[in-house]
Amino acid sequence: MKPRGLFAIVVCLFGVFALATQPCLADASKTLKIGGLFCLTGFGSSAETYIAQGAKLSEEWINEKGGLTIKGEKYKVELVMEDMKGTADGAVAAAG
C-alpha cells in the first residue's frame, strides 16, 4: 500500500473517532458525515481512485450492518469525498 493510501485511511479513521466523541455534530436524521481527501484527478489518481472506491464500499457495508452505535444511538455513515488533485495546494483547498 502506498503511503498516501495509508494516510487517507488513517485520516478517515481519525475522523470517525473524533466525531464519535461529539455526537452533537451529527444532524437530526442521525447521519455521521466523514470527510476524506482523495487524489481523484492529477498525479497518482489511478491508484487513489481505488482507495476512494474502497472507502465508499466500507460506507455501504457499515450502513448495511445498521450503521455505527455512538453512546447508545445509531448513526448512518455518509462519506464526503474531496478531490485533492494530486497537489499540495489541492489538498489544502480540499481540506478547507
User: What pLDDT is recorded for position 86?
Assistant: 87
Q: Dump the DSSP string for the chain.
A: --HHHHHHHHHHHHHHHHHHT-GGGS-TT-EEEEEEEE--SSTTHHHHHHHHHHHHHHHHHHHHTT-EEETTEEEEEEEEEEE-TTSHHHHHHHH-
Number of other CB atoms surrounding residue 8 within 10 Å? 21
Q: What is the pTM of this model?
A: 0.62
Would you state the cell numbers that stand for residue 10, as one nine-digit string?
488513517
User: What pLDDT is recorded for position 26?
Assistant: 43
pLDDT tens by residue, 33-65: 999 999 999 888 888 899 999 999 999 999 999
